[in-house]
Amino acid sequence: MKHFAASLMCGDPLYVAEELRKLEEAGCDLLHLDVMDGIYVNNLALGPEWIEAVKNFTSIPIDIHLACVDPIKYIDMFASTKPDYLSFHVEVVDDVKKVIQHIKTYGIKPSIALNPETDIEAIIPYLEEVDMVLMMTVNPGFSGQKFNEEVIPKIKKLKAVLENRKHQPLIEVDGNIHSGTIALMEDIQPDVYVLGTSALFHNKDQSSYTERLEFLKRFIDSLEKEKSSLKSIT
């Protein structure tokens, strides 16, 4: 089953409560919340008090993505918000296991993130210890970037590594995800799609968030059915 995570940073900042209400009505699976320190990426976003207010307002599970150079510091800072998942970047730490264990001490599911240029080998030693892998399909920091197709072979490689393993963390993709880029991943469909401006929060039509999510569900189902039919022919 595929899941959709709404990148709340892409919503209307003046009407967050209304955005959350519409996302709940649409059956959104996760809220993807980016925490950016202005150092690892050239942007600032989402403090702990803001996220705690969101947590108290909605029943949608929270998925925090730390785009920060000092994950331990920010794990401690955001642990009180009790997210379901918390991602940190493999590129910024020397002791990956230490960070994973630190997340677990708070009863939070650890997730490990990697940028488009990072080789999948960097996370393979830690796959048994995390609950999710966040594959960035753009460089973190800003929405509206072009989807990096070079990530697709990496997702395929990750799926191959996980295929015969007992523990299989979810694979999440984030960065210009919409029907067109989902189609590019037809053969290696991930588990969680982070949706931002292009697929969910856009104002191109008058459709509701419910209609937009339903469209993507049907679209993914059609891709999977087409794939199954091709397998049966061959």
Give the catalytic positions in this structure.
34, 174
**Is the distance from CB of 53 to CB of 63 less than 8 angstroms?**
no
From the list 3, 4, 2, 1, the residue with the least C-alpha distance to 201 is 4
**Is the distance from CB of 184 to CB of 149 less than 8 angstroms?**
yes
d(CA 74, CA 47): 10
d(CA 221, CA 112): 27
